[in-house]
Chains A and B, each alone.
Chain A
């Protein structure tokens, strides 16, 4: 696990771990590892999706009534924010691949700020729900929704968006780390594995939201 980056002249300027034949093989292995991690993420978040879909099927009226309490405008805004952040992340990666360090840095900062923006919108949404007593399970105090199963919708809402928001926070940490390493000039056309793989993670967070938004806000 040496992090020595030797600038040896030759085809590959970056030192790669000795059990890999080449830097390319190392990159492919890292990428495959990332995919396998993302598979575990699919299955974890998938459990929530399955639970939501089935309970929605069993309590359709309650869920439909409850989902109208969500603010579609804020949800759509956050979708736009997150998709835009995916694009800036991608541009951050391609800039790093092309060796355009300052450009890459700029895009990473933009992505980080868009992630902040997502969380700020989420904060306003959550406070509005708290304010109206739209809370999970026994904490539910809203009197507008009379169906006894309404609180179930909010259990799922907070759990699913909460798990997602947690991923956003982790992503922001990873981006801060990428910024630091970019500033350290760790990345270049020969080595950009962390940038690209954090990119994958970020796109996955976007991908999950792409399903969460219609499921929770639009069809309910």
Chain B
């Protein structure tokens, strides 16, 4: 009989019927592998725990798909359909992970890049150390710097071990790349240090940066202090009373922008059902909230 082109090719009737013995053997193997995976989980392989458990699961899943779900005996088509879904799942996972774990490298511009309000300076002559500035700097330090530099500024934060060069130990006098006069620390905060994990913090308002400078300075011994020329070099007019310098860059890492939206917005305090209290007095963030049509707390 001529095969109609639109008719699927029909194979001769030879549907595979699995022998009971094979079914029981595969079932037994699956139970054995369950035992193996529980047993292996009792041993600590550190970072390998996860891949090992997933490998055993995948061997089990393959047995189920190939023999219980007949793919081994089936036409290739169904196998391809199934594998394709797994492939798309892999794409889904990889791309989302790439997005999530590399956000620190992506910078955003515009309304999301709300650096802290660039209003008037709260401090007169912030380049001159005062106890208030040191206290202000400490709060910023604890929020921004301890990950690498440690709670006491000894360069022993959680991420320090992974960094080369090591984060600076502020209690040590020697070895500061840019020197350790206040203006030189200010320069480091502004520009970062090339070839190290020290990023530019030019997005922080100048007051915050000067606060950091004086706090960091207070951790070490005395230093030479700034001359007027030193100050002029970092853009300060020593004769004026306030720092005219607004946060310099309007771009910040996406991660920082998101953190600011969550933290500055007091999301964690807001309760579901309450009026959103995102960033009071910060119209740009309020609008952002409205754009998302959101008036509740994302409790992550």
Contact = CB atoms under 8 A, between A and B. Distances in A.
Interface stretch (A35-43, A159-167, A175-183): A35-43
Contacts of A211: 54, 57, 61
A24 B64 contact: no
Contacts of B88: 43, 46
B38 A218 contact: yes
Contact of A54 (B20, B49, B78, B100): B100
A134 B38 CA distance: 23
A32 interface: yes
Contact of B38 (A72, A91, A200, A215): A72
Interface residues of B, number: 53
A147 interface: no
A80 B34 contact: yes
Contacts of B49: 219
Interface in B1-50: 7-8, 10-11, 13, 15, 17-20, 23-24, 26-27, 30-31, 34, 37-38, 41, 49-50
B10 A24 contact: yes
Interface string B86-108: 10110011001100110000000
B37 A203 contact: no
Contacts of B93: 46, 49-50, 53-54
Contacts of A149: 300
Contact of A97 (B15, B30, B77): B15
A210 interface: yes
A25 B68 CA distance: 21
A152 B300 CA distance: 7
Contacts of A50: 89, 92-93, 96
A42 B34 contact: no
B50 A206 contact: no
A137 interface: yes
Interface stretch (A2-10, A81-89, A109-117, A118-126): A81-89
Contacts of A173: none
A207 interface: yes
B68 A90 contact: yes
Contacts of A152: 300
Contacts of B299: 137-138, 151
Interface of A: 11, 21-22, 24-25, 27-29, 31-32, 35-36, 38-39, 42-43, 46-47, 49-50, 53-54, 57-58, 72, 76, 79-80, 83-84, 86-87, 89-91, 94, 97-98, 137-138, 149, 151-152, 196, 199-200, 203-204, 206-207, 210-211, 213-215, 218-219
17 contacts: A11-B13, A22-B10, A28-B75, A39-B84, A43-B85, A46-B89, A47-B92, A50-B93, A54-B96, A54-B100, A90-B18, A199-B68, A207-B61, A210-B57, A213-B34, A214-B37, A214-B54
Interface of B: 7-8, 10-11, 13, 15, 17-20, 23-24, 26-27, 30-31, 34, 37-38, 41, 49-50, 53-54, 56-57, 60-61, 64-65, 68-70, 74-75, 77-78, 81-82, 84-86, 88-89, 92-93, 96-97, 100-101, 272, 299-300
